[in-house]
Structure 1
Amino acid sequence: MNKSSLVLYNCLKALPFLRAVAYVGALEQHIFFQKARKKKLEIFKRAEKYVKEHRQRVRQEIQLKREARKAGNFYVPDEARLAFVIRIRGINQMHPRPRKVLQLFRLRQINNGVFIKLNKATLQMLRIVEPYVAWGYPSMKTVHDLIYKRGYAKINGRRIPITDNSIVESALGKCDIICMEDLVHHIFNVGPYFKRATNFLWPFKLNNPSGGWTKKTNHFVEGGDFGNREDQINALLKKMI
């Protein structure tokens, strides 16, 4: 058998193996795309569900306000459970106590912002640092815009851009948070894994508000900047995102 015949013989002999390798490769690729498609559909369904839930809640609140007005009463909404807190002042002449609270809140720099679960303890802490922060109750849209436009993940102590849902799933999948919409929904509703979800996010680095600050040494109710501005925090954040 000459050299060319031997090469042809060896190629023909290897053909079944090569076909098997190609088949396995094609099968693995098919399974990968099927899983990706299934995951994409699941994420879409979750997002759709969250939008419906939020719209229903808004409609219900509007209806309750109307009914209260007709009865000559005032509608009192449930107490806020979520706050967004922004550091607005530096450390000059700061007492150690508020400095420690700012560290616990992870507000180490001016214009850093974080989500906080409101309870007796955190409200007390907010009173301690009130002259150094602006805070209030973010809307669903504000939470969404913050996470999508300014959100970074904290992975092994590093600030990582959240480029796709796999980053969220790898860190929070055990909490059934597998995508950005899950993260938004969980934080806005102060879900059972709120602490893990917020610790996954690096403290937000925001811009100075367009038009600048008014007067950082005055309370918001006095025409200044610091303190609780309730739902008016949304207008401020719109200028800072």
Structure 2
Amino acid sequence: MDATGEASRAAPTGELAASRHRAVAELRQQIIDGTLQPGDRVVERTVAEQLQLSRSPVREAVQALIYEGFLVAESPRRIVVRRLSRRDVEELYDVREGLETMATVLATRNATHEDAQQLRHLLAEIAEETDEVALHRLNADFHELMTRLAGNGLLRSLTHPLTGRLQWLYQQNSDWDRLLTEHRAIADAVLSRDEDKARSLAAEHARASRADTLGKLFPDEA
């Protein structure tokens, strides 16, 4: 077979992968931002029509999000947004605290001058922002940047499969004054190379967010 024939046969695979990626991203974001609520049914045909895609990439996207923990198959024909129990949320925060504390400590050792400038710029942007949607995105950006500043490829690879669920956690917090104050304190400790303080502040930050989230999601169990 000539090169033209090979390319034409490979093209649909590339298009399918791109469509699948788009469907995953769109559905994940709808869950993270609350457009799709826990218990809402996800119907492949409806999603395909909304995104103007064929059923095949949507079907694969649904399976990917079941694997990520965002969706659950209550039966072969009924896929719904997962309802998180208090234990589910507590386990997510246990993992978040461990990963973010480690990232923050490593960042104190590895952050460069250019990284410091980027961190300060991000904090300034957060301080000036007033739009709720943008603030949620910037809050997640702070934690993603800290993971990058850690300079540990294995840590990033371990965090990557949890990115969507961690973003969902960040979305539950909206006490912007507290978040900015704590982010600034963590950044100061990182940039001053104070590992012990950075470790303590990162753990306290995760625990404060945990308390806020549990109080918001499970007010009757407070």
TM-score, structure 1 normalization: 0.29
**Larger strand share, 1 or 2:** 1
Structure having the higher helix fraction is 2
Q: Which has the larger radius of gyration?
A: 1
